[in-house]
């Protein structure tokens, strides 16, 4: 299939998603798709090797593109177009991919349901009354709806793996530093990762191969080669999988427990071993994350001041304080304001030691738990991705703590900077369940290969109880 044919198919699929009211896209253009496809076909005809030739990839709208707006789903950046492009996007173009759409998200990636977008919530592709997860819900929904085979999202505390689980697709968070953050609008700089959704593990792996690798424009990128997973192994003999008991509490949804039992059974059927392990500081992951991430956000979002770019409003006093108050008060939504206020508080004089410094110490303990388990000879960890299936829209918006607990099984990985992947593991009452594999540092390739082997063995659509 030519890139032109692929572009037409992608445009038709995006039109169908829009007609269904999915609200997963914030910007896309058939004309832009056609122009990209024509350029890719010319390059291919000239003999250029393009590993992603004509593959449409959607981009979360907090990753900057030079030919389409980047709003972060916020009024404060409505209509803003970046003068430069993210390294991940440039590498996709270099590989021949088509940038299909900019996708909806929780404003500035702050949320777990994609209900906190200034441009309306994203609907779950299987049940319009439910959420697709967040904050990368638009990207997950487009892949699940079949509009694109892959999409970029971003992870700060599980924002790709959690919606991947809710929507029944694959979500890969690479190890911190394996993919350049250049051009990703910063939320929590020590946590943020450009991450990938795919219909299959292979789809996600192909995109990750294209976008990963060192980047001189990002001082936190690792001097390591691109992530290049091999084919799924025929068996898992010699592979030790740990089941952290803290991720399987007594009140875990029985259907999710059954689905994970099936995945563990698939590991054994392929010749691998499964054993219980412990990550004792896991219970502190959510409160630790919700101190560190808002603290970093309060610093990163200070640049949105109404002076240099984006929305500009001046209050009645007419001075600079009035400018800041009016611009941020009108431009930021309630969840962003809440997190900036929390972050400013925990960094303030008198509270820094009590909250932020203590959270950083607990973060070290969480990372140490993972390091000890992997040092014991365990190759990967297997856990549920989420404690529930997709919840109903509006169910948690008035209770921020309940919303934050949707990330209870994913946020520790970001604090430790490790790679992790969510794969579909069945359905409960028609709603997808995800299983998560967590790898040690620099273990991205092996993790993806094992996930591909399990993907062949575990039905993504089988009902479990």
- Is residue 91 located within the same domain as residue 2? yes
User: What tokens appear for 95 in the block?
Assistant: 């590989």
Neighbours of 12 (CB within 10 A): 11
Per-residue model confidence (pLDDT) at position 362: 98
Is 315's pLDDT higher than 90? Answer: no
In a domain, 243, yes or no: no
User: What tokens appear for 292 in the block?
Assistant: 């560190």
From the number of C-beta atoms within 10 Å of its C-beta (0-12, 13-18, 19+), residue 287 rates as middle
Mean pLDDT of 455-461: 93
Angstrom distance (rounded) from CA 183 to CA 199: 25
- Is residue 342 located within the same domain as residue 415? no
Element holding 331 (H helix, E strand): helix 320-331
Tell me whether residue 135 is one of the annotated catalytic residues.
yes
Per-residue model confidence (pLDDT) at position 203: 98
Per-residue model confidence (pLDDT) at position 404: 86
Mean pLDDT of 31-47: 98
pLDDT band at 211 (very low <50, low <70, confident <90, very high): very high
Per-residue model confidence (pLDDT) at position 320: 87
- Is residue 313 located within the same domain as residue 204? no
- Is residue 78 located within the same domain as residue 207? yes
CATH number of the domain where residue 46 is located: 3.90.1300.10
User: What's the whole-model pTM score?
Assistant: 0.97
Per-residue model confidence (pLDDT) at position 401: 83
pLDDT in tens, 404-448: 888 999 999 999 999 999 999 999 999 999 999 999 999 999 999
Share of the chain above pLDDT 90, in %: 92
- Is residue 8 located within the same domain as residue 133? yes
pLDDT band at 120 (very low <50, low <70, confident <90, very high): very high
pLDDT band at 1 (very low <50, low <70, confident <90, very high): confident
Question: Which of the residues 82, 135, 165, 180 is marked catalytic?
Answer: 135
- Is residue 339 located within the same domain as residue 426? no
Phi, psi of 192 (to 5 degrees): -60, 140
In a domain, 9, yes or no: yes
* Number of domains comprising the chain: 2
Tell me whether residue 60 is one of the annotated catalytic residues.
yes
Is 48's pLDDT higher than 90? Answer: yes
Residue with tokens 């794969």: 423
In a domain, 274, yes or no: no
Tell me whether residue 278 is one of the annotated catalytic residues.
no
Q: What value does the mean pLDDT of the chain take? A: 96
Determine the structural domain holding residue 348 and report its residue range: 287-353
Question: Which of the residues 139, 159, 180, 221 is marked catalytic?
Answer: 159
Angstrom distance (rounded) from CA 310 to CA 69: 11
pLDDT in tens, 184-197: 999 999 999 999 99
Is 399's pLDDT higher than 90? Answer: no
Q: CA angle 244-354-159, nearest 5°?
A: 45
pLDDT in tens, 138-181: 999 999 999 999 999 999 999 999 999 999 999 999 999 999 99
CA atoms within 13 A on the CB side of 167: 39
Per-residue model confidence (pLDDT) at position 307: 87
Mean pLDDT of 383-401: 94
Cis peptide before 135 (omega within 30 of 0): yes
| Beta strand pairing call for 193-198 and 273-277 | unpaired
In a domain, 273, yes or no: no
Angstrom distance (rounded) from CA 182 to CA 214: 11
In a domain, 275, yes or no: no
Per-residue model confidence (pLDDT) at position 181: 98
Is 369's pLDDT higher than 90? Answer: yes
Per-residue model confidence (pLDDT) at position 405: 83
- Is residue 253 located within the same domain as residue 295? no
């Amino acid at each position: 299939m030519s890139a032109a044919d692929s572009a037409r198919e992608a445009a038709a699929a995006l039109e169908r998603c829009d007609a269904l009211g999915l609200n997963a896209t914030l910007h896309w253009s058939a004309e832009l798709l056609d122009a990209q496809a024509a350029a890719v076909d010319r390059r291919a005809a000239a003999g250029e090797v393009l590993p992603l030739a004509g593959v449409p990839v959607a981009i979360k709208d907090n990753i900057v593109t030079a030919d389409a707006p980047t709003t972060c789903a916020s009024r404060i950046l409505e209509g803003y177009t970046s003068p430069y492009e993210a390294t991940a996007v440039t590498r996709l173009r270099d590989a021949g991919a088509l940038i299909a759409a900019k996708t909806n998200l929780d404003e500035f990636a702050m949320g777990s349901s994609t209900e906190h977008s200034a441009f309306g919530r994203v609907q779950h592709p299987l049940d319009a009354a439910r959420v697709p997860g967040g904050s990368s819900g638009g990207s997950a929904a487009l892949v699940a709806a079949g509009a694109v085979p892959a999409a970029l999202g971003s992870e700060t505390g599980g924002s790709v793996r959690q919606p991947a689980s809710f929507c029944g697709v694959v979500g890969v968070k690479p190890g911190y530093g394996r993919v350049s953050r250049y051009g990703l609008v910063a939320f929590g700089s020590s946590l943020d990762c450009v991450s990938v959704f795919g219909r299959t593990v292979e789809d996600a792996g192909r995109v990750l191969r294209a976008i990963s690798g060192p980047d001189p424009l990002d001082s936190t990128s690792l001097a390591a080669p691109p992530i290049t997973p091999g084919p799924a192994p025929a068996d898992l003999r010699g592979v030790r999988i740990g089941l952290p008991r803290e991720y399987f509490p007594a009140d875990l949804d029985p259907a999710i427990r059954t689905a994970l039992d099936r995945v563990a059974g698939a590991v054994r059927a392929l010749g691998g071993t499964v054993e219980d392990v412990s990550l004792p500081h896991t219970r502190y992951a959510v409160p630790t994350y919700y101190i560190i991430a808002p603290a970093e956000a309060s610093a990163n979002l200070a640049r949105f001041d109404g002076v240099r770019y984006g929305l500009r409003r001046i209050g009645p006093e007419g001075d600079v304080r009035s400018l800041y108050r009016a611009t941020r008060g009108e431009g930021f939504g309630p969840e962003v304001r809440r997190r900036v206020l929390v972050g400013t508080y925990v960094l303030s004089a008198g509270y820094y030691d009590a909250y932020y410094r203590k959270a950083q110490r607990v973060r070290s303990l969480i990372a140490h738990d993972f390091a000890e388990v992997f040092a014991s000879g365990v190759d990967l960890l297997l856990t549920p991705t989420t404690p529930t299936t997709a919840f109903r829209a509006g169910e948690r918006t008035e209770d921020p703590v309940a919303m934050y607990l949707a990330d209870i099984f994913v946020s520790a990985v970001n604090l430790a900077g490790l790679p992790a992947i969510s794969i579909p593991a069945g359905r409960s009452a028609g709603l997808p369940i995800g299983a998560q594999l967590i790898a040690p540092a620099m273990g991205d390739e092996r993790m993806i290969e094992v996930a591909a082997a399990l993907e062949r063995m575990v039905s993504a659509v089988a009902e479990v109880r």
